[in-house]
């Protein structure tokens, strides 16, 4: 029995075990995977496509995208083994529920499509390519307009406050773009965002939404989800009109280091549980 696994009709034997082999690659961790891919550039590209497609579907499932906009990207080796890398992203005009591993497009550093058909929405190229180029070590960029995060970003003071356990994971990890510049139709706007982001993991965008960057798909997904949960708690607390209680500084410090040591494990546990849910309820994403 075979299943279709990617570009140009290549097929592989269906995995008979629950998890595939352990992978240590730029966009993934060594956590046991719910998929199997071969070694080499094509396999690495394929794994990136599977994880990125699962992220699109998973975030849609969680109600964190808007229409057919917002975008997630991963840097991966070219599937044909050629020089350089491609930025994988979904093509313009399809819904996140339609994203599959094979319909993602790969663009080069000049935003030219070199894998797949179609091209990404202009803002995806301008924001994501700029961050990938300017932020060393970043393999994954996710940009969404989740409702509570975007509502918080629309306030005059939109700082994420350390008032809940979920918010504490972002202590000293958030940058703030306080000047909305309109839709990002130029690379200069993406470069401006990248400069503000600096060495932080989250960029809150005034009147816009948020960007998270990471070295793995699971970490970026995890950060985006719990950012929204932290923003939700803050917005709901503020809506009561009562004073919110900030976590003491010494508690923030004491929690930060132990959490960061375990962050990738927490992220993997969560993301691959979502991956398995998508395998169960929306299995076509792996096509």
Residue ranges in the chain modelled with pLDDT below 70: 1-25
DSSP H/E element including 269:
helix 249-281
Boundaries of every domain in the chain? 17-252+264-273
Tell me the C-alpha distance between 131 and 178, whole Å: 18
From residue 72, alpha-carbon distances to 15, 82, 204 in Å are 27, 23, 16
CATH 3.60.150.10 assigned to domain 17-252+264-273? The reply is no
How many beta carbons lie within 10 A of that of residue 276, not counting itself? 13
Query: Of 110, 267, 137, 111, which is closest to residue 198 (Cα–Cα)?
Result: 137
Checking phi first, is residue 224 left (phi over 0); if not, alpha (psi -120 to 50) or beta? alpha
pLDDT at 21: 38
pLDDT at 45: 97
Distant-in-sequence, close-in-space partners of 30: CB < 8 Å, separation ≥ 6: 22, 23, 24
Phi/psi at 180 (5° precision): -65, 125
Q: Length of the chain in residues, anyone? A: 287
pLDDT at 114: 96
């Amino acid at each position: 029995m075979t299943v279709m696994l990617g570009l140009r009709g290549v097929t592989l034997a269906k995995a008979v075990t629950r998890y595939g082999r352990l992978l240590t690659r730029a966009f993934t961790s060594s956590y046991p995977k719910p998929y199997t891919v071969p070694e080499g550039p094509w396999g690495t590209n394929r794994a990136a496509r599977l994880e990125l497609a699962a992220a699109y579907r998973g975030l849609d499932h969680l109600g964190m995208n808007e229409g057919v906009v917002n975008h997630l990207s991963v840097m991966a080796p070219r599937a044909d083994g050629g020089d350089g890398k491609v930025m994988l992203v979904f093509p313009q005009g399809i819904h996140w529920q339609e994203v599959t591993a094979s319909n993602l497009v790969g663009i080069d550093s000049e935003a030219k499509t070199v894998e797949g058909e179609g091209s990404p929405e202009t803002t995806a190229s301008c924001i994501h390519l700029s961050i990938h180029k300017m932020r060393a070590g970043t393999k994954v960029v996710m940009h969404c307009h989740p409702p509570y995060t975007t509502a918080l970003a629309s306030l005059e003071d939109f700082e994420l406050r350390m008032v809940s356990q979920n918010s504490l994971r972002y202590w000293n990890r958030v940058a703030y773009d306080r000047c909305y510049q309109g839709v990002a139709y130029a690379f200069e706007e993406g470069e401006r965002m990248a400069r503000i982001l600096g060495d932080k993991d989250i960029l809150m965008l005034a009147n816009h939404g948020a960007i998270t960057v990471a070295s793995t798909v699971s970490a970026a997904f995890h950060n985006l989800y719990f950012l929204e949960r932290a923003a939700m708690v803050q917005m709901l607390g503020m809506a009561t009109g009562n004073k919110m209680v900030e976590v003491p500084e010494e508690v923030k410090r004491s929690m930060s280091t132990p959490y960061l040591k375990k962050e990738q494990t927490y992220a993997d546990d969560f993301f691959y549980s979502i991956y398995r849910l998508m395998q169960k309820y929306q299995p076509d994403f792996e096509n």
